[in-house]
Amino acid sequence: MRKTILAFVITFSVLFVVSAESKSWKSVATEMQAIIDDAYNIYVSGNADAGYERVNDAYFGHYEVDGFERNTQSRIGGSRAGNVEVQFSRIKSAMRSAKSNEEVRKECDTLISMLFEDAEKLDPPKMSWNELAKVLENEFSEAASMYSDGKVVTAEPKFRKAYARYYGKSKFQENVAKSLGNERDAQIVNLYNKTKSMILEKESKPEVAASIIELSDVISKTAVDLTKKQGRAQWWATVVASLLILLREGFEAILIVGAIIAYLRKSGNENNLGSVYKGSVIGILASIVMALILIGLTKFGFESGQGQEVVEGITMFIAVAVLFYTSNWMISKASSKAWSNYLQGKIQTSVDKRSMFSLAFTCFLAVFREGAEVILFYQAMFSGSDTNGTVSAVILGMIIAVVLLVFVYKAIIITGKKLPLKPFFYATSILMFVMVVSFVGGGISEFVDAAWITPKLIDGVPTISLLGIYPYAESLIAQGIAIVVILGSLCVGKILSGKKEK
């Protein structure tokens, strides 16, 4: 049950650590635009190095520190954030390569455009759908009054422009079709066309007024339905995302710790369970401390966001080593016999020597390896949640995950060694190998962002941050080496296991 403690401690740690500030991302984008324009002017004046450093000021001082990157990753997508980071690199590369003023200006304008596009998506809408519907209702009412006063020439443009501005150009129509279906949109469009024709054909004032009122009522009802549906969809999507984070990261720790507990109980060594619990609790505490250190270094330990990139890059390469070792370990223990022998050997040695260290350290590693990452995942997820009302969804997802993990824990305890681990080990080890390759590319990218590496950009290579793929020659070469090492380790492991079986 100590895993339950892990989840709840992590929950409250994140709630205390994360403070979601309400800010205008457009204003942050405007600040970055001014700095980027200044960097360009400095470059044009002949000081490429100073221009390069000024671009870094925009990246580290605002894109990183102000949380623009983190919110882009969590609310728009990791690949989009990766593309923006690459565009920063393109500007710096152009300056370092002494490109023409026109080429540097083009790269700067591309970045500025990307920043404002993302800011528009990150900032909450200026008006809700219900508010838009109310404005539209007022505009329609004025058009109806004009028509009733005999001002047909002004009534039709008023009616038409109000519809286009507040239903079409505001993305109201696009969202209605996407969330409520084309039939609802067609109902509104047909009623609008009918009303407009009635105005142009100068039909009776009561009939036109009734048609305008009907259209207003349909749009108002549609705004209510759209708000409810989109709110529910966003809320539940957040619940699922939150659930999967803890469920995915916690399952491996539960598997190892639960299997050790099951074996101890089945073998009559329950007096040694204390060491398992102690190792798990220490792993929880160490995870929290590590996450706090990383967050603290990022937010407070450096004058700019450069420290965040360095810490993340180093952390990724530490994770590469851990994942590579763990994935090889899982492959070697994939068979039920190998797993049983491993557990029996580790546990029996500890029991025979009356040493609690081995058990505690095994459980500590199982929990610690996942705990800090879980906290950092949720730290990013809570960022900005207050502004879109999804804090409760994140917490509910965590609670559901805890309940599911408790059931997994109970299942492991009950079934013991009968749990079909082989398919899980193979699938998990393959996923870990993929993560190794991804983290290698991501780590190099972090060092590029931190200005530790000046990259050689390769045109035509897409940015796929999920797989750690970036258009940098350095990261692609490193990933190629990682793949060769992984394949080599698998071949060696296969040969060694074959010799042992003989």
Q: What type of residue is 152?
A: V
Band the pLDDT of 25: cuts 50, 70, 90: confident
Report the C-alpha gap between 391 and 15 in whole angstroms: 10
> If we measure between CA atoms, which residue out of 284, 466, 298, 474 comes closest to residue 366?
284
pLDDT reading at 491 higher than 70: yes
The DSSP result for 79-148, as a single string, is HHHHHHHHHHHHHHHHHHTT--HHHHHHHHHHHHHHHHHHHHHHSPPSS-HHHHHHHHHHHHHHHHHHHH
Report the C-alpha gap between 27 and 336 in whole angstroms: 58
Residue position matching structure tokens 């370092």: 96
pLDDT of residue 19: 39
Q: Determine the average pLDDT of the residues in 235-263.
A: 74
Report the C-alpha gap between 216 and 147 in whole angstroms: 16
Q: Determine the average pLDDT of the residues in 418-426.
A: 57
What would the pLDDT profile of 114-146 be if each residue is shown by its tens digit? 999 998 877 766 667 888 888 888 888 888 888
pLDDT of residue 429: 67
Share of the chain above pLDDT 70, in %: 69
Token pair of 402 as six digits? 């805890």
Q: What type of residue is 66?
A: D
8 A C-beta contact, residue 255 and residue 412:
yes
Q: Determine the average pLDDT of the residues in 247-253.
A: 75
Q: Determine the average pLDDT of the residues in 211-231.
A: 86
pLDDT reading at 8 higher than 50: no
8 A C-beta contact, residue 378 and residue 74:
no
> If we measure between CA atoms, which residue out of 173, 58, 163 comes closest to residue 112?
58
8 A C-beta contact, residue 449 and residue 88:
yes
> If we measure between CA atoms, which residue out of 157, 161, 159 comes closest to residue 140?
159
Q: Determine the average pLDDT of the residues in 225-232.
A: 79
pLDDT of residue 5: 46
Band the pLDDT of 303: cuts 50, 70, 90: very low
Those residues with Cβ within 8 angstroms of residue 472's Cβ, 6 or more apart along the chain or in another chain: 89, 444, 445, 448, 455, 456, 457, 458
pLDDT of residue 121: 77
The DSSP code for 202 is T
For residue 257, the cross-strand partners are none
Choose the weakest-confidence range: 99-108, 226-235, 324-333, 368-377: 324-333
Q: Determine the average pLDDT of the residues in 215-244.
A: 81
pLDDT of residue 39: 94
pLDDT of residue 51: 93
Q: Name the more confident of 15 and 487.
A: 487
Band the pLDDT of 357: cuts 50, 70, 90: low
Report the C-alpha gap between 362 and 288 in whole angstroms: 18
Report the C-alpha gap between 201 and 193 in whole angstroms: 12
Report the C-alpha gap between 423 and 426 in whole angstroms: 5
What would the pLDDT profile of 274-290 be if each residue is shown by its tens digit? 777 888 888 888 878 87
Q: Which helix (H) or strand (E) holds 335?
A: none
Report the C-alpha gap between 450 and 454 in whole angstroms: 10
pLDDT of residue 489: 83
Q: Name the more confident of 374 and 377.
A: 374
pLDDT of residue 359: 61
- Can you point out the beta strands (E) in 187-298? none
What would the pLDDT profile of 31-83 be if each residue is shown by its tens digit? 999 999 999 999 999 999 999 999 988 988 788 777 787 677 666 766 788 88
Report the C-alpha gap between 199 and 205 in whole angstroms: 9
pLDDT reading at 247 higher than 90: no
pLDDT reading at 223 higher than 60: yes
pLDDT of residue 389: 56
pLDDT of residue 29: 92
Q: Determine the average pLDDT of the residues in 309-329.
A: 68
Burial, 311: exposed, middle or buried (Cβ in 10 Å; 0-12, 13-18, 19+)? buried
pLDDT reading at 106 higher than 80: yes
Q: Name the more confident of 406 and 417.
A: 406
pTM of the model: 0.57
Report the C-alpha gap between 286 and 365 in whole angstroms: 10
Report the C-alpha gap between 243 and 413 in whole angstroms: 23
Q: Determine the average pLDDT of the residues in 249-263.
A: 73
Q: Determine the average pLDDT of the residues in 395-418.
A: 79
- What value does the mean pLDDT of the chain take? 76
